A and B are shown apart, each in its own frame.
Chain A
Amino acid sequence: MRRRATFPAMGLALLLSAAFVADDARAEHLIVSVSNHRVTVTSNYSGEELVLFGSIERDGNAAVPRSGYDLVVTVSGPRADMVTRRKERRFGIWVNADSREFLQVPSYLAAFANRPLDKIAPPDVLRRQQLGLNNVLLRQRVGPDYADVVTSDPFRRAFIRLRAEQGLYRENTSAVTFLTPTLFRTSIPLPAEVPIGTYTVGIKLLADGALVAKTETAFEIVKVGFEQFVATAARQHGLLYGVATACIGLMAGWMASIVFRRD
């Protein structure tokens, strides 16, 4: 409906943009919001799903591109060092032979788009803009060097596959839905195992295979109440926490021997 209504305006805009092609060909910007900027982890936490809403604002008379807009949303969690090991058969038993360290890679990584990535942009653009799990930079230590490797690298593929099996890496090219040509939404599923920390959400708008606008937002996953108290105590007062835990253990053992005492 809306599309049809804007059609004459679009024609006009095309004429105008043909006239002033130099200055204002693309003047979109994005306005986005996450449904919850602070996910709280309490004792009954078992995962959550956030919703990202956004709108493409066009300045002046900028036209909607003929092929429509494309959106790629990348959510990345707190960074951590990880190691992937490969087993090999040696002397009849399977042992860890080769390993790769992934340095400061996102512990949670999700790429959402409105249609398959290869239809959105050519490979070089996808690579440059780090769109999709295959194109996100994952820094590795290979011997003395620090580099990301080709996407067909077995360690890199195994790494992404193993993270995906835990639900911590995901790619969905039909998760972004356009409610109108300029209004979109996507849900961000967070499994229960997601790490605590700050998550950044990068939203990139593409049209005709090129980046036209981008913005970033963030949300955090935090422990509150008892969970936070325990985690802080364990980290900052390790010795006291250990003594307390040991005392609880001894109390539990003592109580059991009283409760079940027969003699």
Chain B
Amino acid sequence: MQLYLPIADLPVNVFLILAMGAAVGFVSGMFGIGGGFLMTPLLIFIGIAPAVAVATVASHIAASSFSGALSYWRRRAIDPMLALILLGGAIAGTMLGVWTFTQLRALGQLDLLIALSYVVLLSGVGGAMFWEGLRAMRRARHGQVVPPRRSGGHGWIHGLPLKVRFKRSKIYLSAIPVVAIGLAIGFIGAIMGIGGGFILVPTLIYLLRIPTSTVIGTSMLLTLVTMTFATVLHAATNHLVDVVLALILMTGGVTGAQFGARAGQRIRGEHLRLLLGLLILAVGIRFAVELGIRPNDLYTLREITGGP
């Protein structure tokens, strides 16, 4: 069934978009990530202008993360204090990112920077998660008892001042690294057009030693706020959010996310991390290959938006 998109200005197959939304929603529900890093390239692949894709995906992520955040909230798996402090950093980071974005666009190498940061971030994060998952699995197979990591262990991070008590997460931690992480996520998100959940989740777990149980829900709340903000901002400044496309994506996405969340609870933690690591790594490698091999067509054509 073909449907004409009023902002993207082209007809699409409704069932294809629904299926894409459901598939990405499943992944995002399963791992507690937004899934923007999967959805944006998919939409560009089916012919939607990159600017429209980035802007519209923001609203889709807002929808699926709201659905997820609600169910985590009911299970009391969100740390409001943690979310608030992260958000403070993220907003500052987003502003900084948007400013950098404008500066880089003037230099004309924005595409390269986006591709490079995809490669570095995705392969780095994906590789680390994959490796960690593999090690955990091997330990489990050899019957070794994994020493339960005490939340809020000791490290230089935990010696920093300005300590705040995060009640839900049951840790006592300095606000400085939390703000810094929020800042980095906001900055990266603004430049790459992603929510950043796939970076936030492992950082909070491994670097700050915050319990996984509150990390995923808190990350979803953060994604929800930043992506809702991004939707309104994109619509107000660039007029590129396609509400019809967003609605189809959401319908598929929220449904997929619910099934994904259930599937995620049935899989063991280290398997989950291994799978997510593989997925992120695969996308990273795809971008790396694209940079490394000679493209079929050396020329690319793009309409300069912001015309009449």
Contacts and interface: CB of A to CB of B under 8 A. Distances in A.
Chain B interface helix/strand/loop/mixed: helix
B63 A250 contact: yes
Interface string B205-232: 0000000000000000000000010011
B131 interface: no
B162 to A, nearest CB: 33
A242 B258 CA distance: 25
Interface of A: 41-46, 80-89, 92-96, 99, 101, 107, 155, 158-159, 161-163, 192-193, 195-196, 223, 226-228, 230-231, 234-235, 238-239, 241-246, 248-250, 252-257, 260-261, 263
Nearest to A101: B304
Given A245-B241, A246-B228, A246-B231, A252 B6 contact: no
B243 A94 contact: no
Contacts of B297: 162
A41 B304 CA distance: 23
A242 B4 contact: no
B237 interface: yes
Given A162-B299, A241-B235, A242-B241, A80 B307 contact: yes
Nearest to B60: A249
A108 B301 CA distance: 14
Given A161-B299, A192-B10, A252-B254, 16 more contacts: A44-B2, A81-B307, A84-B299, A86-B298, A89-B294, A93-B291, A158-B301, A162-B297, A230-B6, A235-B239, A246-B59, A249-B60, A249-B231, A250-B62, A253-B67, A256-B258
Given A96-B109, A238-B239, A245-B235, A195 B11 contact: no
Q: Among the interface residues B64, B231, B294, which one has the most CB atoms of the partner chain A within 10 A? A: B231
B106 interface: no
B295 interface: yes
Q: Among the interface residues A81, A155, A192, A256, which one has the most CB atoms of the partner chain B within 10 A? A: A256
21 contacts: A45-B4, A46-B11, A82-B303, A84-B301, A94-B290, A95-B291, A234-B239, A238-B237, A239-B236, A242-B234, A249-B62, A249-B228, A249-B246, A250-B228, A252-B67, A252-B250, A253-B70, A254-B67, A256-B255, A256-B257, A257-B70
Interface of B: 2-4, 6-7, 9-11, 47, 59-60, 62-71, 74-75, 108-109, 111-112, 228, 231-237, 239-241, 243-244, 246-247, 250-251, 254-255, 257-258, 290-295, 297-304, 307
Contacts of B298: 86-88, 158
Contacts of A235: 239
B303 A107 contact: yes
Contact of B254 (A99, A155, A253): A253
A93 B231 contact: no
B235 A239 contact: yes
B257 A242 contact: no
Contacts of A228: 6
Given A81-B307, A162-B301, A44 B3 contact: yes
B9 A44 contact: no
A254 B303 contact: no
Contacts of A43: 3-4
B237 A81 contact: no
A10 to B, nearest CB: 49
B4 A41 contact: yes
B2 A223 contact: no
